[in-house]
């Protein structure tokens, strides 16, 4: 591995977060209230607790006010919808994020549908997804948006390139494919039923791995000169975090690769800050500042 083929998500995320912080500071100096982000955490899943805590820290550092709701794992659907409704009606809240996955007895789709589309900083509401699918993105889901910013900041030209997305989730795979399509890639979506995965990934200029299976993609799947974006965060029995890509095998051949941790993960949080700042701008009717 050469230093130069490492895509520094951590560094780029810090840069985005600093831009958001400066924007928030400017708005507050102009007399606007600070942006507000509401996070809803149901139950006590340790991974979700860590993710939400990291989101709080980032918000605080950016000058965004946290509104946190911690709800018991056995809350009823109606109880959860009532909390969402209160946040929808709270003027100080610009963004609402309900950490997924939810306990099995809750209807995730109904909860996502209940979030005011103006506050949909996760970009999961059907109004946001349909805008993305129509090529007119509004709020874009944070992880795939983070991958796009990472590619852009690294100066990787996507125009006309072959991109393979491995994984078809609503949170990453599907929106990722649409964003790459919007950037003029020829896009293939592979998944758990794909036959001969390597025959697809070997032809790719860009591979985005978002399957949730530890170190599943190896040097058999990746050709020399391919840019590899690893969305996976898998905790091994040894407690170590590993991606969906076997970094030791793939990094010597890849043109560029994101590490785990320190690649896509920090970008997800940075894009949540960006989306919250965007929601705040729109809700307060602040003119384009760029």
Residue ranges in contact with ligand GUN by CB under 6 A? 97-100, 122, 142-143, 171, 268
Smallest distance, Å, CB 98 to ligand GUN? 6
Smallest distance, Å, CB 11 to ligand GUN? 21
Distances in Å between the Cα of 176 and the Cα atoms of 93, 163, 206, 219 are 27, 10, 12, 23
Report the candidate in 208, 215, 214 with the shortest Cα–Cα distance to residue 174.
208
Structure tokens at 218: 């190896």
Burial (CB count within 10 angstroms: exposed 0-12, middle 13-18, buried 19+), residue 140: buried
Smallest distance, Å, CB 94 to ligand GUN? 16
With respect to ligand GUN, which residue has the nearer C-beta, 98 or 256? 98
- Residue partners of 169: CB distance under 8 A and separation at least 6: 210
With respect to ligand GUN, which residue has the nearer C-beta, 99 or 281? 99
Q: Which residue is nearest to ligand GUN (CB)?
A: 100
With respect to ligand GUN, which residue has the nearer C-beta, 100 or 113? 100
SS (H, E, C) 229-246: EECCCEECCCCCEECCEC
Looking at the chain, how many residues does it have? 290
Smallest distance, Å, CB 64 to ligand GUN? 16
Q: How far is it, in rounded angstroms, from Cα 98 to Cα 118?
A: 15
Q: How many Cα atoms are found within 13 Å in the side-chain-facing hemisphere of 191?
A: 10
With respect to ligand GUN, which residue has the nearer C-beta, 6 or 147? 147
With respect to ligand GUN, which residue has the nearer C-beta, 197 or 233? 233
Q: Which positions are catalytic?
A: 55, 99, 122
Smallest distance, Å, CB 259 to ligand GUN? 19
Which residue, chain included where needed, has tokens 């078809």?
Answer: 168
């Amino acid at each position: 591995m050469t230093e130069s083929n490492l895509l520094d998500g951590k560094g780029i995320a810090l840069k985005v977060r600093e831009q958001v912080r400066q924007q928030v500071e400017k708005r507050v100096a102009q007399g606007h209230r600070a942006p507000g982000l509401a996070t809803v955490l149901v139950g006590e899943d340790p991974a979700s607790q860590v993710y939400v805590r990291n989101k709080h820290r980032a918000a605080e550092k950016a000058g965004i006010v946290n509104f946190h709701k911690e709800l018991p794992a056995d809350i009823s659907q109606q109880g959860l919808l009532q909390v969402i409704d209160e946040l929808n009606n709270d003027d100080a809240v610009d963004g609402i994020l309900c950490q997924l996955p939810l306990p099995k007895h809750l209807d995730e789709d109904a909860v996502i549908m209940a979030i005011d589309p103006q506050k949909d900083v996760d970009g999961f509401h059907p109004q946001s997804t349909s805008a993305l699918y129509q090529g007119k993105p509004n709020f874009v889901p944070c992880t795939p948006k983070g991958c796009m910013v990472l590619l852009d900041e690294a100066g990787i030209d996507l125009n006309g390139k072959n991109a393979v997305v491995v994984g078809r989730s609503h949170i990453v795979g599907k929106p990722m494919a649409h964003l790459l399509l919007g950037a003029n890639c020829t896009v293939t979506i592979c998944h758990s039923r794909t036959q001969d995965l390597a025959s697809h990934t070997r032809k790719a200029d860009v591979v985005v791995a978002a399957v949730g299976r530890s170190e599943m993609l190896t040097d058999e799947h990746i050709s020399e000169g391919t840019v590899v974006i690893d969305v996976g965060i898998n905790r091994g029995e040894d407690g170590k975090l590993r991606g969906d890509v076997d970094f030791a095998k793939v990094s010597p051949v890849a043109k560029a690769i994101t590490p785990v941790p320190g690649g896509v993960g920090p970008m997800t949080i940075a894009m949540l800050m960006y989306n919250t700042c965007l929601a705040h701008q729109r809700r307060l009717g602040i003119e384009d500042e760029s």
